[in-house]
Structure 1
Amino acid sequence: MDSAQNPEEFYENLKIKLQDTAMWPTEYLYKFIVVTKESKVEIIQQVFDNMGAVIQTTKSKKGKYTSVSVNVRMKNPDAVIEKYKEIGEKVDGVISL
């Protein structure tokens, strides 16, 4: 997210882009980066639990960071944004790509 832009503007722009570029429901790929700590990865996994998500994790070369990719079928852009917000609230220091 651009630091000069407020979060609501960012999510509104994201919603417009998602509406314009996909037919819903669709598969959506989330990408997150967290400091390597098992509890942070587990929280992300719990947020997508029981949704049929395919989750892959990859540690950085030095092992300091972990990339978490989540491929999951989402109903609409609002559902996508809600998950981003939930992860942002529950996982301290997460970077969403």
Structure 2
Amino acid sequence: MNAFEKSEEFYKKLREQLYDTASWPSEYLYKFIVKSDSQKIAEVEALFNNLGAVINTTESKKGSYTSISINVLMKDPDAVIAKYKEVAENVEGVISL
């Protein structure tokens, strides 16, 4: 199984879990980790502009990495997954939690 197939399987399971655990539209909490670089942080934040997102950032103890928590109202699990994919495609080195 290649990396693409693994990620598609992951998103399929996530979609099922989201449908099973929430009624939609619903608030969703995204968590990402990026190197502590103001440009990388801004790239992630920009992808959530105009969505009414509440964004919090926390730098790691050593200051090497920054965690970004984004709470936003999403219309359905497919929208949640589309946003994960958009972040992964547009922000190099981002880790999605």
Query: What is the TM-score of this pair, normalised by structure 1?
Result: 0.94
Number of the residue aligned with 1:56: 56
Cα distance in 2 for residues equivalent to 1:18 and 1:40: 28
Matched positions, count: 94
Q: CA deviation at 1:25?
A: 0.3
Which stretches of structure 1, 4 residues or longer, exceed 3 Å deviation after superposition? none
Where do 5+ consecutive residues of structure 2 fail to align?
Answer: none
TM-align CA RMSD: 1.0
Q: Where do 1:3-42 residues align within 5 Å? A: 6-42=6-42
TM-score (norm 2): 0.94
> How many angstroms does 1:52 deviate by?
0.2
Residue 60 of structure 1: CA displacement? 0.2
Distance of 2:44 and 2:35 partners within structure 1: 13
Counterparts of 2:44 and 2:92 in 1: how far apart (Å)?
11
Shift in Å, 1:92: 1.0
Q: Deviation at 1:32?
A: 0.3
What is the aligned partner in structure 2 of residue 68 from structure 1? 68
Identity of aligned residues (%): 60
What secondary structure, in the 3-state scheme, does the structure 1 residue paired with 2:50 have? Answer: coil
